[in-house]
Amino acid sequence: MQPLKYLGAYSDQTLAQVTQLIEQNKLGDVLKQRYPAAHDVRTDRALYDYVQDLKSEFLRNADPINKVAFDGKLHVIQHALGLHTTISRVQGNKLKSKHEIRVATVFKDAPIEFLRMIAVHELAHVKEKQHGKAFYKLCCYMEPNYHQYEFDLRLYLTELDISGKRLWNAT
Ligand SMILES: [Zn+2]
């Protein structure tokens, strides 16, 4: 079996459980049971609104987000589930930052919890650059189940690698 490349940060015990699910061919079923339905955020416009709503609920005072889009060229292989970029430039005597958030297109056909996890992650980067304590605290403030969703999302990427089949299809 190939190594569980999306799950490197988890304990041996957890990996053993995942391996067992894979060997019993049950990983996909477990995920479908836990997350029965796909979300309906289908366009860049809808994604933009979704992220802005989260931002105004939790990070009202953070810098504005200039652009939000699905990105088919984002390779989840490189552990990039989403991408946040900041372009800083001097305008007059002020430093202005432009924030862009991109979400890998594979998450168009996914449960809302996965999209939320990525949106929360990328929004947290507007305030915290590094993946430190403060960063994850901010993620959990926006979504208390953040860590569970991230784990399940990584399980899905693992399942996708093995089966090549998307578990959720938009209706
Ligand atoms: Zn990050």
Chain mean pLDDT for the chain = 88
Ligand 1 centroid to 131 CA: how many Å?
6
Neighbours of 158 (CB within 10 A): 20
Distances (CA, A) of 82 to 1, 13, 29: 27, 28, 25
CA-CA distance, 27 to 30, in Å (whole number)? 5
pLDDT for the residue 73: 81
Nearest to 74 by CA among 47, 107, 44, 104: 104
Ligand 1 centroid to 150 CA: how many Å?
12
Ligand 1 centroid to 125 CA: how many Å?
7
pLDDT for the residue 169: 78
Q: Looking at the DSSP assignment, which residues form a beta bridge with residue 111?
A: none
Ligand 1 centroid to 24 CA: how many Å?
32
Q: Length of the chain in residues, anyone? A: 171
Q: Label residue 107 exposed, middle or buried (CB < 10 Å: 0-12, 13-18, 19+).
A: buried
Give pLDDT tens digits for 106-160: 899 999 999 999 999 999 999 998 889 999 999 999 999 999 999 999 999 999 9
Q: Are strands 82-91 and 94-104 parallel, antiparallel or unpaired?
A: antiparallel
CA-CA distance, 150 to 148, in Å (whole number)? 5
Q: Where are the domains of the chain?
A: 5-163
> In sequence order, which residues have a C-beta less than 8 Å from that of residue 26 and are 6 or more positions away?
none
Greatest mean pLDDT range, 70-74, 85-89, 123-127? 123-127
pLDDT for the residue 82: 64
Domain 5-163 has CATH 3.30.2010.10: yes
Angle, in degrees to the nearest 10, between helices 27-34 and 146-163? 140
Is 114 within 8 Å of 150 (Cβ atoms)? no
Ligand 1 centroid to 57 CA: how many Å?
20
Ligand 1 centroid to 5 CA: how many Å?
17
Confidence (pTM)? 0.89
Q: Label residue 166 exposed, middle or buried (CB < 10 Å: 0-12, 13-18, 19+).
A: middle
**H or E element: which one contains 21?**
helix 12-23
